[in-house]
Amino acid sequence: MTDAAKPAPVPSTPAPPPPAPADSVNLTIDGIAVIAKKGTNVLEAARTIGIDISAFCYHPGLPIVAQCRQCLVAIEKNPKLQPSCQQVVAEGMVVHTNDAQSSLARKQQLEFTLVNHPIDCPICDKAGECTLQRLYFDHDNANSRIDTPKVHKHKTVDLGPTIMLDQERCILCSRCIRTCDEVSGQHQLDFAHRGDHEVLTTAPGEQLDNPYSLNTVDVCPVGALTSKDFRFTMRAWELEATPSVCNGCATGCNIEIHHKQDRVWRLVPRHNPEVNKYWMCDEGRLTYHGLRDHRLAAALVDGLPAGWDRAIRAAAELLGPSLASAPRSIGVVLSAEHTNEDNFALAKLAKAWGVTNVYVAGKPEVPSRADGRLRVADVNANTAGVKLVAAALGLPATPIVELSADVRTLVVLGAELPGIDQAQLAELAIVAISAHERGPVAQAKVALPAAAWAEVAGTVTNAAGRVQRMHAAVTSPGQALPAWEAIVRLAQATGGKLSFAHTREVFHDMTQAVPAWKALSWTREARPLALRFAGSRG
């Protein structure tokens, strides 16, 4: 504090900012002080304060190549503009993203990119989530200056079983090439020729057929690469996104379910640095087709549709005598494909009934899938969870192949009974709680319709023991209910004391019972986000 009589000296430079923590640096972007961890690039540092320096070829999950030159910014003490995706932050760096030079560079780069771009927006799948559209509108918005014909390339190149390429739309950012290399480990895409005839094509002798090929469609900033499964089916801005978890295998990649009016149109990966980063496999993406496949929509008694009440009564009549006199003749099959909550409800019911023959069933393993990347051999979503739930309630979790000869009646969750042949099935009386009408459901005495994975709120446990929350995206067809609700109805008809009114109640009971899950808490149901409100996904 200066003496009041003397005027305070005017500082010539502003006081330096306080020192950043040891692993971070101070820098200034557009006059705003930013603290960024060492090793961050300037583009990411700018994003943390809401400044969008446009970029095409940069992707946080891929190696940086600084190829598109869209992210050039002016950095003081540097004579030339630098690509901000490649420039690592340094202490005291002063960055200008909106000065005359950077803005002009950005506009000019966009102008170059658009010179030969075909006027395809009305027919291009990427419209509505296209990075080129977004960056042009936000950063350039100038009129075209060319009056020469555009260079033409091939517009429908079949790259492989899953992807179509439009060479004219490609802006040569190389994200797809790097994605193939990084995610699948196979080099299947490359550039050919030079100058304005440069095109994307398959690497010599290769096809784009690796099991992670559809990730290239996600990363492509324009509509050059399109998924054969999704193209021309639905416009992006009409979709709503609900977060969930892929049920294709035990990895549990985090996904977004894109749906509209109660129908799922595609699945896309959601970023989770600890599970799947930015990627998912092609098989997982296509599991949404199974949601409409042979769905069990009505309760069946002896193969004929019946209402819930009649079906529950039939099941109670079937189980009643055995429950009273010979609980050893009843087998309960938990499902490695259903949520923790469904399995917990059934296990609790088994315990209340005094049934000790508790089995676990799921789809058989596919050893060829295990590739050390995302795909694993276990194609069931919740094997780990089922085992934990059964163990916590003190029940065995015997694989269903070891079905005991004493069992005469089976209560099956799910539609898989691997290793049980037709002869054995014919001898059993089955109560099936399943979403699909296949497998043992055909021979079931009573079949109760369950909701499928995209229609329920619940949790699944992946192979690493991670419990992940799913949110319901669409409503179940017909009279299907979440499996735990079917189980509660069955319990109430057979004297087992179960009374849950909401999935979160099952969850709370479950987390009290399973010691490893005691600290978990139920999150609020995610409302679907309309993609047209989310800004561009691109």
Interface residue list for another protein (CB under 8 A): 32, 49-50, 114, 117-119, 121-122, 127-128, 132-134, 136-137, 140-144, 237, 240, 242, 259, 261-262, 451, 455-457, 471-476, 481-482, 502-504, 525, 527-528, 530, 532-533, 535-536
CB-based burial label for 398 (10 Å; 0-12, 13-18, 19+): middle
- The nearer residue to another protein, 182 or 240, going by C-beta atoms, is 240
Containing 88, the helix (H) or strand (E) segment is none
Nearer to another protein, 191 or 237 (CB): 237
Minimum CB distance to another protein smaller for 13 or for 475: 475
Cβ at position 115, least distance to another protein in Å = 9
Nearest residue (CB) to another protein, 12 versus 144: 144
Comparing CA positions, the residue from 269, 274, 73, 304 lying closest to residue 179 is 269
Shortest separation between residue 341's beta carbon and another protein, angstroms: 11
Q: What's phi and psi for 507, nearest 5 deg?
A: -60, -45
**Residue 237 CB, nearest approach to another protein (Å):** 6
DSSP 485-501: HHHHHHHHHHT------
Give me the least distance between CB of 505 and another protein, in Å please: 10
Write down the least CB distance from residue 317 to another protein, Å. Answer: 28
Report phi then psi at 54, rounded to 5: -60, 150
Maximum separation of any 2 CA atoms in the chain, in Å: 105
CB of 119 to another protein, least distance (A): 5
Least distance from C-beta 296 to another protein, angstroms?
Answer: 16
Min dist. Cβ of residue 305 to another protein (A): 15
Which of 439/458 has CB closer to another protein? Answer: 458
Give dist(CA 164, CA 58) in Å, integer: 23
Query: Radius of gyration of the chain from Cα atoms?
Result: 29
Between 137 and 292, whose beta carbon lies closer to another protein? Answer: 137
Q: What is the dihedral of CA 435, 441, 444, 445, to 10 degrees?
A: 50
- Cβ of residue 33: shortest distance to another protein, in angstroms? 11
Q: How many CA atoms lie within 13 A of 527 on its CB side?
A: 4
Nearer to another protein, 350 or 470 (CB): 470
Choice between 104 and 530, CB closer to another protein? 530
CA–CA separation, 191 and 181 (whole Å) = 14
Nearer to another protein, 301 or 474 (CB): 474
The span from the CA of 280 to the CA of 145, in Å, is: 41
User: By C-beta, is 37 or 532 nearer to another protein?
Assistant: 532
Residue 107 belongs to what H/E stretch?
Answer: helix 100-115
Of 44, 45, 82, 83, nearest to 61 by C-alpha is 44
Nearer to another protein, 105 or 352 (CB): 105
3-state secondary structure of 317: helix
194 burial level (CB within 10 Å; 0-12, 13-18, 19+): exposed
Q: Which residue has the tokens 């603290």?
A: 35
Residue type, 146: I
- What number of other Cβ atoms are within 10 A of residue 157's Cβ? 18
Q: Where are the alpha helices (DSSP H) in 116-259?
A: 131-135, 175-179, 215-219
Three-state secondary structure of 371-389: CCCCCCCCCCCCHHHHHHH
C-beta of 399: minimal distance to another protein in Å?
Answer: 31
Give the nearest distance from C-beta 318 to another protein in angstroms.
27
Residues 267 and 236 sit within 8 Å (Cβ to Cβ): no
